[in-house]
Amino acid sequence: MFDVNYWGAVHVSQEAVGFFREENSPQGGRLIQNSAGVGLVTLPTLGFYASTKHTLEGFTETLHKELNPAWNIEVSFVLFGGFVTEFATGSFQMIPQHSAYADNTNAAAVFRRMFSGSTVESQKKLGFGDPAKGIQKVYELSKLENPPLRLLLGKDINQYVKEYIAQLTKEVDEYEAWSDNLGYVDN
């Protein structure tokens, strides 16, 4: 999974940036990474997949900060929410559930039930997006003069990220004082 989702994207990014910088100057270029909402907000049972996306986002954000503006290279990553794809119908393989998670109210068990036997129709009923419409938005992103670093696509991921930011802000506010007086010289 890391070979495709992370290392594959890293190697393509390195080649693309080299081309944009050295061969396509002064026009530069656009690098758009395919990520997922779980790169910011994780979901039960998707730990390994989410790890690949977290890692890709760390790399992409770092790359974005390292690029010389004179090279005219724009970097964005798209964090897709739920879209109707084979991810949950054919290519998504679940290993048998460990007995420790047998409680049907456990978040992992609920998520597994939601996706076991998933079909295109069940994904549509869950409110998953139309991939053709999502790709149209990626095309529109590619044409923006000043594209965002992150583009969230899907009502679900926008809501999850807002909730994540609110929770993170609450935790920072509540425990910020714990960082006081930790230095050798207190300020």
Of the CA atoms within 13 Å of residue 63, those in its CB half-sphere come to 26
Tokens of 107: 């978040």
Size (the chain), residues: 187
Distance CA(161)–CA(170), nearest Å, equals: 14
List the one residue out of 12, 34, 2 whose CA is nearest residue 141: 34
Tell me the average pLDDT across 128-137.
94
Could you tell me the strand order of the sheet in which 29-36 lies?
29-36, 73-80, 150-153
Distance CA(108)–CA(102), nearest Å, equals: 9
pLDDT surpassing 80 at residue 24: yes
Q: Which residues contact 68 (CB under 8 A, 6 or more apart)?
A: none
Q: If you classify domain 2-83+129-154 with CATH, what class do you get?
A: alpha beta
Domain boundaries, the chain: 2-83+129-154
pTM for the model stands at 0.84
Give the bridge partners for 32, in sequence order: 76
Tokens of 42: 């994780």
> Would residue 128 be called left, alpha or beta, if left means φ above 0 and alpha means ψ between -120 and 50 degrees?
beta
pLDDT digits (tens, 9 = 90+) for 141-151: 999 999 999 99
Return the pLDDT at 108: 81
∠ CA 108-46-34, rounded to 5°: 150
Distance CA(132)–CA(134), nearest Å, equals: 5
Mean pLDDT of the chain: 90
pLDDT digits (tens, 9 = 90+) for 69-101: 999 999 999 999 988 877 666 666 677 878 887
Return the pLDDT at 32: 98
For tokens 């270029």, the residue is 29
